Amino acid sequence: MSRARAKATVITRRRLLHPRHWPLWLGLGLLWLITRLPHRAGMAIGRALGRLSYRLAKSRRHIAQVNVRLCFPELSEAEREALVRRNFEYTGMTVIEMGWAWWVGDERFAPLGEIQGLEHLQAALARGQGVLLVGGHFTSLEIAGRLLVPHANFPVTYRAHKNPVMEYILRRARNRYYDSAIERHDVRGMIRALRKGMPVWYAPDQDYGRRHSVFVPFCGVSAATVTGTARLAGMSKATIIPAQFYHRPDGRYQIILHPPLEGYPSGDEHADAWRINAFIEEWVRQRPEQYLWAHRRFKTRPEGEPRPY
């Protein structure tokens, strides 16, 4: 190792081990210990963590309550609140699932999941085509990626973390299990991977503002929806496969790779965005307790319409 590189390594270690990061390291250590437990025991701890966060995370609870009220007006107030409580339990389980995705080996991980429709992905890759796996922000997202990667070596998209310790942990996990990491705004990186005949995961169901977005319905509410799915498909000529995943009642995980979309993109950005939203909405209505309701999905509004949060 060169002297400059060794010095940089020492500086990085000192930064990561600064006392202000000790509470986070302690929390990560506890999470690692929980991953040594049986999966069911870990999920029980996650549900308890979710119930605690329901009481303490007031702002996130409010966002989830508003989203559920907008998307499920047919439910009573008591039913909506029960849904939010259950959603926080699944969100707490997500914390434990992240630990599993980061640190648990394949011999314990593989039996957790079942994949349906893998032939759609394999057929496209056999033709040398890139595959855009289009899904939504459901609570078992980290688990789904780990379950899929043994069947198709693909890069993972990510958002850089502001905390250096978390960025260090996430980077090590990405490098251990995935081909590479592509920052979520790096469109060129995604296109390069797709043109090389690789699969790329893409979730277009969050509110990223007005730029490159159109307003189309999502769960009956006009939502700013990115047009990136159609643009990526058009520029890369990739196959588009809707990818659904969820936590089953028996404790295992189900991934469903649906047949490739035909006639997509169509050239009509509104119709294309609505088509993707319709898939994700269908999955949300099947398992609403497992969707990321704590995100401000409807923060960007059409002109003259107030924000709901």
- 272 burial level (CB within 10 Å; 0-12, 13-18, 19+): buried
Percentage of the residues of the chain whose pLDDT score is greater than 90 = 78
Decide: pTM greater than 0.85. yes
Is 60 exceeded by the pLDDT of residue 8? no
Q: What is the DSSP letter of 152?
A: S
Q: Which of 63, 23, 49 is nearest to 163 (CA)?
A: 23
What is the number of residues in the chain? Answer: 309
> What DSSP element (H or E) covers 156?
strand 156-158
Is 90 exceeded by the pLDDT of residue 174? no
Q: Is 188 left (phi over 0), alpha (psi -120 to 50) or beta?
A: alpha
Which single residue is written with the structure tokens 């314990």? 108
Summarised one tens digit per residue, pLDDT across range 223-252 is 999 999 999 999 999 999 999 999 999 999
Kindly report which listed range (30-39, 103-112, 282-291) carries the lowest average pLDDT score.
Answer: 103-112
- 261 and 169 in contact (C-beta within 8 Å)? no
Find all residues with CB under 8 Å of 118, minimum gap 6, and list them: 151, 257
Q: For residues 27 and 178, which has the higher predicted lDDT (pLDDT)?
A: 27
pLDDT of residue 4: 40
Beta-bridge partners for 255: 115, 245
Provide, for the chain, the percentages of residues in helix, strand and coil under a 3-state DSSP scheme, each rounded to the nearest 5. Answer: 55, 15, 30
Mean pLDDT over each residue of the chain, to the nearest integer = 92
pLDDT of residue 159: 77
Is 60 exceeded by the pLDDT of residue 1? no
Q: What is the DSSP letter of 37?
A: S
Percentage of the residues of the chain whose pLDDT score is greater than 70 = 96
Summarised one tens digit per residue, pLDDT across range 128-164 is 999 999 999 999 999 999 999 888 878 877 777 889 9
Summarised one tens digit per residue, pLDDT across range 197-227 is 999 999 999 999 998 899 999 999 999 999 9
pLDDT of residue 154: 80
- What's the topology of domain 3-290? Glycerol-3-phosphate (1)-acyltransferase (3.40.1130)
Beta-bridge partners for 201: 133
CA gap 248, 256 in Å, rounded: 12
Tokens standing for residue 78: 């008591």
Tokens standing for residue 128: 């040398």
pLDDT of residue 49: 98
**pLDDT band at 192; cut points 50, 70, 90:** very high
